[in-house]
Amino acid sequence: MKHFTHQFTTSPTIKGRVFPTFVLAAIFSLSANLTMINSAAAYSESSEQVNSEFVNTRGTFVSQNQSNSLPATVANAVKKDLSKRTGIPPGKLKITDYKQETWPNGCLGIAEPDQICTQALVPGWRITVTDGQKTWVYRTDNSGRNIRLETQNISLNSSKSLQFISNETLIAATPKPSQIPSSELPPALDKGIMFQAISSGGFAGRTYQTTLMKDGSLMRVRIGDANDSERSVKKISPQQLRQFQKLLNRLPLSQYNGLSYPAPSGAADYITVTLISSSGTVRYADIVQSELPKSLREVIQAWNQITSTR
């Protein structure tokens, strides 16, 4: 019997196909590895840039993955504005702290002379910037198009070197209240009135009284207007009325009754607001609103929302 040995051979055609296949696979593998390495390096570089840019006042890094991270457009707008004011290159300015705020009006709570401010609430940011020697505090809206310088020239080496410059400045600490003189206290509210606010001062120096009735009517008049030409009357929704009443019950003004939170010494063109409810009366300067006790700020913000409703 003959033994046959079957030898498998590969034809030249098949060999020609297999070799290029192995070469292509090796190229794809090498390309993928290079892509992963480049991506990792780019991510590392990007993370380093972000972390070196945003640090808090304690010198620790602030995570930029948080939902309330400061947008780069806002940060750049603040640096650009400060650079114009001081001549310091934007690259030498660092943002050391930031937090979200809701400002009381379109002027972000800092009105300039002869400027009319919209009364709607404006969400935005309070941002602290430094050049390593001095610190500046800014207020912005969410887009960075509306920017106001709040404080400047704060030396990092001394907490007592705060310098106030016209009306664009504001003390950084909560203002210490004083007692409203008894001669300046408004009369008690009538039975049909839920809440009242009296605002005076500013560039125009006028005084306005805004009254919320228990039926939801909201009336605004200018004190001293003989022709009553600036009177306006509107009505808020029953839901708004109930919500505001619940807020007043939860955060009564009695805990601040008779207190006045004044403007910083040397400030000008600010507005003094007196709030009156059945439980108490409190007075404050609008440029220190963001520094008031939290519960009082809640009442003010709710009231501003009501008065800005059309």
Calpha distance 208→231 (Å, rounded): 10
CA 257, 263, 264, 266 torsion-angle sign: negative
Any residues with CB less than 8 A from the CB of 199 and at least 6 apart, and which?
207, 208, 210, 271, 272, 273, 274, 286
Place of tokens 């310098």: 163
Residue 20 is predicted with a pLDDT of: 53
Q: Where are the domains of the chain?
A: 72-168, 178-308
Task: Give the strand pairing for 193-201 and 232-235.
Answer: unpaired
- Considering the entire predicted model, what is its pTM? 0.48
Residue 175 is predicted with a pLDDT of: 62
Any residues with CB less than 8 A from the CB of 141 and at least 6 apart, and which?
103, 108, 122, 123, 124
Do 199 and 272 touch, CB atoms closer than 8 A? Answer: yes
Q: Provide the edge-to-edge strand list for the sheet that holds 147-155.
A: 94-103, 122-130, 134-141, 147-155
Residue 53 is predicted with a pLDDT of: 44
Residue 310 is predicted with a pLDDT of: 65
3 state SS of 226: coil
* CA 111 vs CA 116, 124, 190: distances in Å: 8, 16, 33
Residue 142 is predicted with a pLDDT of: 93
- List, run by run, the mean pLDDT of 10-residue segments along the chain (310 residues): 45 49 51 48 40 40 55 94 89 93 85 67 92 90 90 46 37 67 92 95 87 96 90 94 94 92 83 95 91 91 86
